Chain A
Amino acid sequence: MDKETSVDILRSMLAENVMLKIDVATISEDTPLFGAEGLGLDSLDALQIIIAVEKKYGISIGDATTARDALQSLGVLRDWINGRLTTA
């Protein structure tokens, strides 16, 4: 398992698992993943990202509430994953 992640790694993960309508390179660490003001991802995209994170890092995002908190943006997801990797 990787010991740390980055926004670049998560951008690649996003591109591999979600059908994006924009160039993944234009996604900043603060771009909201969901909602009209962000990428507009949906619950199916969330499930795909959760499965990808669990496979790559071996950590579970748990329930829908945790997913909502962890998947706000790539920066939030990076911090969420790294926080769990350092305590694992």
Chain B
Amino acid sequence: MNKPLTPHGPGFRFLDTFECVEGNGIGIWHLNPELWFFKDHFPSNPIAPAALLMEFAAQTAGALWMKDSAKPDAALFVASVDAMRIQSAALPNETLKANVTLVRELGPLAQFEFEITSASRAIARGRVTLSQQLA
């Protein structure tokens, strides 16, 4: 059995694959129409929630940060989300790609810029800061 890409349980894991390309983290998440949130978000009009798009970016950032870490299984926490823009709706059956870049690391904190796309369509962008400590 392959080791999970993040420390989350299976119900809150939004990263199907991860790779590092020229220093950037590339995460892939296929929006299976059977995912638990589509039924209610929204009935008859399923759209991936913005909060989960942010979580997808954060998990990709975490995988990038921990890639060469001495403690790759360390828990990471979202410390802030800045300047996030939703550019279009993410729909069932789309395959999302998060492209994450490390901006700056300082002690237990690291800030990343992210862009989420589906094929060539922009879905969301913003910045997320992760912490190795709970606030």
Partners in one complex: yes
> A16-52, CB under 8 A of B: which get 1 and which 0?
0000000000000000000000000001101110110
Q: Which stretch, B17-25, B59-67, B99-107, touches the partner chain A?
A: B99-107
> A53-68, CB under 8 A of B: which get 1 and which 0?
0100000000110010
- B89: interface (CB < 8 Å): no
Number of interface residues of B (CB under 8 A): 12
Which size class do A's interface residues fall under? 10 to 19
Q: Is the interface of B mostly helix, strand, loop or mixed?
A: strand
Q: Is the interface of A mostly helix, strand, loop or mixed?
A: helix
Whole-angstrom CA separation of A64 from B107 in the bound complex: 6
Determine the chain B residues whose CB is within 8 A of the CB of A44 once the complex forms.
Answer: 79-80, 109, 129, 131
Q: Residues on A close to B: CB < 8 A?
A: 43-44, 46-48, 50-51, 54, 63-64, 67
- B111: interface (CB < 8 Å): yes
Whole-angstrom CA separation of A74 from B82 in the bound complex: 23
A55 and chain B: residue at smallest CB distance? B103
Determine the chain A residues whose CB is within 8 A of the CB of B82 once the complex forms.
Answer: 48
